[in-house]
Amino acid sequence: MNRHCYSKKTINKTRQQCRALFFILLCLLLTGCAEIRSFYAENERPTRNISIFCDNTRYDSSIFFDATVAEAIRAVGITVNDSDIVNPAMPMTIPADGIIRITRVTTEDITTEQVIPFQSQTVRNESIPDGETRLIQQGHNGTRQIVTRYTYEDGVQTAKAVVSAVTIKESVPEILMQGAKAEYAPIKINGRLIYISEGSAWMMEGSTENRTPLVSTGDLDGRVLDLSSDGQWLLFSRTGRSTEVNGLWMVKVNDWNAEPISLRVSNVLHFASWLPGNTRRFVYSSVEPSEQTPGWKALNDLRMQFVSDTGMLMTQEEILEPDDSGDYAWWGTEFALSDDARQLLFATPESLGLIDRLSGEKKELIHFTPYEKTRSDWAWIPGFSWNSENNGIFFTFHGKTDGEVQTFDPTDYHIASYDLNTGEFRTVIENAGLFSYPTISPHFSNGKSYLTWLQSELPQQVESERYRIMISDLDGENIRTVYPSKSSSGYITPQHLIWSPGVSQSSAWIAFLSDGNIWLVNPFAGIYNQITSDSTVSKFIWE
C-alpha cells in the first residue's frame, strides 16, 4: 500500500479550484432555469376570444388577455382609416365582452346651383306724374354654386353641411320708377347737377325738371361722386362685397345704354377725383377694412391710376406712401385738388398742408389743436376750401394754430385764411362752429368772390347740428344770413355747401340738403327753391 503525502498548501489550492468550478456550474444551471421559466411563462400567457365587427363582417380571433384594441385589429389584418370610428378607441384595452366595432366613415361632396331671386326696388321720381309707374331696369336672377358635403357611416347618411357657397352670377334688381311729380316750378340751371337717391345716380341738366337716370343699381354708397372735366365720365363708389368696404366704378354719362365699369379699386372712403383733361386719370386714397370701430383703418396714401375707356388699367403711380403716424391716423386724411391738378390740399385732425402731385413732396402749412372730446369712433377734420384763384385756402381751426396752447372752450372754432404766396395767416370769422365748412364762390363777372359757411346756432354745444348758411366778403366783412332767415326757426345739418357753376350772380345758386331734399338759394336775390321732394337724396355734386 502506497502512501502519498501532500502539502497543506497544495490541498488548499485544490479546494479553491473546486469551489470556483462549482460556482461556475451553479451560475450556468441558474441561467438555464431562468430561460426555461421565461419560455414557459411566455407560452403560458393567458389569451381570450374576441370578435371584431367591420364592413358587415364578423372577425373572430384569440389574443392575449391584456392586448389593446389596436393590437387586436392588427392581428386580424383590418386596415383602419383616420376618419373611421373605432369603439372602444384604439389605445384602450379590449373590453370585457371582447367585442370591437369599426364604423366606416366616408364623405361625398355634391355641387349644385341655386337661383338668387332678384329684388324689386321702387324709386320715386318727380319727373313722372303721380300714380304712374315705369319699368326702368328689368330684373334678372343670379346664380350661386353650392358645395354640400354628405357624411355616411357604414353607408348610411348621418350628416350634411354646406362647405362653400360662391356667387357666379349676381342678381340684377328690378327697378320701378314711381311718379311723385312735385308742384315746384322748374328752374333753369347751369352745368350738370348729379345726385344719389336711394342708391341710384340721377342727373339734372338745363332745368330741374330734366332728370336722367345714370346708374340704377341701388347700391351707390355716396363716398365718391365726381364728374370728369370733359363731362363724359362719372366716377362713383358702390357698396363692397365680401371683405371690401366698397369699390370704385365709372360710367359714361352721355351713353344712356352704358353699363357701369369696375375700376378694380376697393376701400376708398375719404377721397377720389378725376384729374382735369380728356384722359381717364384719377387719384384716390384708401383704407383697410377692420373689425374694430369705425370699420376701417386709413392708409393715408395717395395713388393715381390711368384707365382706358373700357376700364383697363394702363398705368398706376404712387404719389404718397401709406402713413400711420399721428394719433388720428386711423381715421384718415381728406384731400382737395387744385384746378390745375398740380397740387392737393390735405387735412388731418391736427394739420393742413400741401402736396405736390408731380414730386410727391408733402408740406405742412398749419398745425392746430385737434378736437379730442369725441373719444368715440370718429375724428374731426376741419372743413377747408381753395379760393377761386387757387393761391390761398380757407379753413376751420380749433384753438391756436401753433398747436402749443390747449383749449377747452366749446366756442373756440374759427375760420381763417392762408395766403400761399406770402404765408400770411388771418382769422376771418370767429366762433363759427365745429362744422362750419367754409366754401368759396366762383369768381364772378364783377371781379368778386365770396365766402360762405355754416354758422352754429348753439356755439356752446359743440356737436350741435343746428346751423344757418352765411355769406361775407373774403375778408369777413358784410356778413349776412342766407338761409334760413333770421326770423325763421329752421336750420340745416352740417354739410358741404355747393355753388352752381357760372360767373353771373343773377343765376348763381348755393345748393344744400334739407331733410333728404335738394334746395337752391340765391344769396344775392334772397330767393330759394326746393327742387326734389322724395326725401331720399344722400349726396350730390354740381359741375
* Tens digit of each residue's pLDDT (9 = 90 or more) over 399-416: 776 655 556 676 788 999
Contact 451, 476 (CB under 8 A): yes
Banded model confidence at residue 1, pLDDT cuts 50, 70, 90 = very low
* Judgement on whether residues 234 and 374 belong to the same structural domain of the protein: yes
Domain end among 71, 103, 135: 103
Q: Kindly report whether the peptide bond that precedes residue 484 is cis, defined as omega within 30 degrees of 0.
A: yes
pLDDT at 8: 54
Please indicate, yes or no, whether residues 94 and 216 belong to a single structural domain of this protein. Answer: no
Same domain? For 54 and 161 the reply is no
**Phi/psi at 213 (5° precision):** -70, 130
- Among 7-21, 246-260, 295-309, the least confident range: 7-21
Are 423 and 365 within one domain?
yes
Query: 149 and 287 share a domain?
Result: no
Instruction: Answer for the pair 305, 313: CB distance below 8 angstroms, yes or no.
Output: yes
Among 55, 70, 103, the domain boundary falls at: 103
Give all strands of the β-sheet with 302-307 in edge-to-edge order. 271-274, 281-285, 302-307, 313-320
Strand, coil or helix: 422: coil
> Is 488 within the bounds of a domain?
yes
- Per-residue b/e over 88-108, b at no fewer than 16 CB within 10 Å? eeeeeebeeebebebbbeeee
Three-class secondary structure assignment of 298-317: ECCCEEEEEECCCCCEEEEE
- Predicted local confidence at residue 25, as pLDDT: 63
Q: Is residue 17 part of a domain?
A: no
Alpha-helix residue ranges (DSSP H) falling in 161-262: none
Which contiguous run of DSSP H or E holds residue 275?
Answer: none
On whether residue 3 sits in a domain, the answer given is no
- By percentage, how much of the chain surpasses pLDDT 70? 86
- At which of 147, 169, 191 does a domain end? 169
7, part of any domain: no
* Residues contacting residue 108 through CB under 8 Å, at least 6 positions apart: 149, 150, 152
Pairwise pLDDT comparison (328 vs 41), residue with the higher score: 328
For the segment 337-390, what is each residue's pLDDT rounded down to a tens digit? 999 999 999 999 889 999 999 999 999 999 887 887 655 788 899 999 999 899
pLDDT per residue over 20-51, tens digit each? 666 666 655 555 544 544 444 445 668 889 99
- 420 and 474 share one domain: yes
Predicted local confidence at residue 487, as pLDDT: 64
Q: Supply the CATH number for residue 114's domain.
A: 2.20.230.10
Sign, CA dihedral 277-195-251-211, equals negative
The CATH number that applies at residue 91 is 3.10.20
pLDDT value of residue 508: 95
Q: Answer whether 509's CB lies under 8 Å from 521's CB.
A: yes
CA-CA-CA-CA torsion sign (354, 386, 246, 436) = positive
Q: How far apart are CA 541 and CA 193, in angstroms?
A: 6
Residue 261 binned pLDDT confidence (cut-offs 50, 70, 90)? very high
Q: What is the pTM of this model?
A: 0.72
- Band of residue 66 on the pLDDT scale cut at 50, 70, 90: confident
Residue 247: CA count within 13 A, CB half-sphere: 14
Same domain, 94 and 114: no
Residues 127 and 75 in one domain: no
Mean pLDDT score, 463-479: 93
Give the DSSP H/E element, type plus range, for residue 439. strand 439-440
* pLDDT at residue 9 in the model: 56
Is 25 a domain residue?
no
What is the tally of structural domains in the chain? 3
240 lies in the same domain as 332: yes
Residue 41 lies in a domain: no
- 52 with 102: CB under 8 angstroms? yes
Spatial separation of the C-alpha atoms in residues 482 and 512, rounded to whole Å: 12
The CA distance from 207 to 535, in Å, is 20
Between 361 and 278, where is the model more confident? 361
| Residue 95 and residue 137 in one domain | no
Distance, in Å, from the CA atom of 165 to the CA atom of 167, rounded to the nearest integer, reads 7
Least confident among 36-40, 251-255, 454-458, 466-470: 36-40
Whether residues 238 and 353 share a domain: the answer is: yes
Residue with grid cell 336750420, as numbered in its chain? 491
Query: How many other CB atoms are found less than 10 A from the CB of residue 174?
Result: 16
| Residue 9 belongs to some domain of the structure | no
Rounded Cα distance, 20 and 9, in Å: 17
Rounded Cα distance, 479 and 475, in Å: 10
Structural domain span for residue 88:
47-103
DSSP code, position 394: E
The answer on 267 and 153 residing in a single domain is: no
The residue written with cell numbers 407560452 in the block is 43
CATH number of 255's domain: 2.120.10.30
Q: What would the pLDDT profile of 169-228 be if each residue is shown by its tens digit?
A: 888 888 887 776 656 678 999 999 999 998 999 999 999 988 888 998 889 999 999 999
Q: Is the pLDDT of residue 6 over 70?
A: no
Mean pLDDT of all residues belonging to the chain: 87
Highest mean pLDDT among 20-34, 448-462, 514-528: 514-528
Is residue 317 included in any domain, yes or no? yes
